[in-house]
Amino acid sequence: MSLVHQFIFWLQQRRLVNLLFVFAYFFFILFMHNPLVLVSMWVEKQLSLEVYNTVIAGVFLTLILVLVFFLQKKLREETEDRNLKLAYLFITITAILIHSRFMFDSNIEVIHSFEYIFLVFLIFPFTRRFGAAILFTLPFMLFDEWYQCSVLYPFLDYFDLNDIMMDTYGCGFSLTVLMILGVKGASNVQPICKRPEFISLVSLVVLILIAVKLCFIACYANEVCSNTLLVMNKRMVSEPFFRLHPTHHLWFHVMKPAEAFICIPLLHIFYMGLDSLRKNSA
């Protein structure tokens, strides 16, 4: 049994310790965000944005290549669903690269995926289901973004749904690698539409849409009511497809609430498919 398997089993047998690890790590993400942003801004200033983006891209690609190198032996040994597991890995890496290129103003934002690689790894022992583990990270993602836009940086004019997509890619990447390494999920998994995590996801989307309809959540500033608790975008009208960053002078896409209400649930459902691979190879 590998060290990864041993650690997951150790956490599974110690739920309270596992829970403490989850919240300790999440608070680290939460409270180290601003110090790390300040460090990142200092490094960017020393190198220039162009050089900084190139360095980050080089580091990310190097890490991916090193990981694939270490996974290749395990991948050659795969006899069940190897092509599908490779497809999940390839699609996730490609999505991270495209997302970083068009939906962020700086490559350093890819760090969101790395943050949630480890969080979902700590959550997985609670469920032993890949899709459920990712879904359980969603409240952490939402709270993280609320904390950033409401507490840390209230001057920001939008709730960063781009980050939640990148967080989810990190979760999917982590669990795909675990599956390739032979970590087993729960057996006898039901079809996706009958699983508790799917029903919970649909229920959450419905609740959010009801909150929007009742004006507890406003998508844009012109939709604010007296009972509004959260404004997702403080601009008066819908975003253009690309926004020009005021200091980096780069065009990037800010995900609209309507896009997020479709894309984020679909992405979670996509990763719920990992449990179907586990069922086929059980």
**pLDDT tens-digit profile of 24-53?**
999 999 999 999 999 999 999 999 989 999
- 8 Å CB contact between 157 and 187: no
Range of the domain at 178: 3-281
Q: What was the pLDDT predicted at 188?
A: 65
Q: Alpha-carbon distance 39 to 163, whole Å?
A: 19
Q: Domain count of the chain?
A: 1
pLDDT in tens, 132-180: 999 999 999 999 999 998 899 888 888 999 999 999 999 999 999 998 8
Which among 146, 112, 155 is positioned nearest to 246, based on CA atoms?
A: 155
Main-chain phi, psi angles of 252, to 5 degrees? -145, 160
Residue 250 confidence (pLDDT) above 70: yes
Q: What was the pLDDT predicted at 282?
A: 40
Contacts of residues 212-217 at CB distance under 8 Å and 24 or more positions apart, as own/partner, are 212/257
Q: What was the pLDDT predicted at 245?
A: 85
Residue 123 confidence (pLDDT) above 90: yes
Q: What angle (nearest 5°) sits at the alpha carbon of residue 171, between those of residues 168 and 174?
A: 150
Q: Rounded mean pLDDT of the chain?
A: 89
The region, left, alpha or beta by phi > 0 then psi within -120 to 50, assigned to residue 188 is: left
- 8 Å CB contact between 74 and 181: yes
Give the pLDDT mean for 86-109.
91
Residue 1 confidence (pLDDT) above 60: no
Quickly state the pLDDT bin for 217 (edges 50, 70, 90): very high
Give the pLDDT mean for 246-265.
90
- Other beta carbons within 10 angstroms of residue 159's beta carbon come to 25
Out of 16-25, 30-39, 70-79, 104-113, least confident range: 70-79
Give the residue with greater pLDDT, 187 vs 96.
96
CA distance to 107, 116, 148, 217, per residue, from 224 (Å):
33, 32, 20, 8
Residue 281 confidence (pLDDT) above 60: no
